[in-house]
Amino acid sequence: MEKEKKYYLTCEILPGMFSNERGVEFKDINGNYVSGFWPEKFFKEKENKLEISLREIKGDKALIFGQMTSAVGYGFFQGLGFYVDKNLISSE
């Protein structure tokens, strides 16, 4: 069985309000800042990466969404999905 590919967004990782969460900040394709909070399990902190859901790549941009979590209070403050520069996306 093939392992499901994981996608990551290179971003700034900030301390969270609690020890088990982190803040995140990045710019969308239009240069607007996007921020939010996610559980620490979605981060690769040493690489400044947040695990995301990649919906599409179109030209030089990628449409991303945050990972779903059952905990209340996590997500991006400015909305659900964002176009970002595709060069900010990596996979494994």
Report the 3 state secondary structure along the chain. Answer: CCCCCCEEEECEEEECCCCCEEEEEEECCCCCEEEEEEEHHHEEHHHCEEEEEEEEEECCEEEEEECCCCCCCCEECCCCEEEEEHHHEEEC
- What confidence score (pLDDT) does residue 88 get? 98
- What confidence score (pLDDT) does residue 70 get? 72
In the chain, which stretches have pLDDT less than 70? 1
- What confidence score (pLDDT) does residue 71 get? 73
pLDDT, averaged across the chain: 94
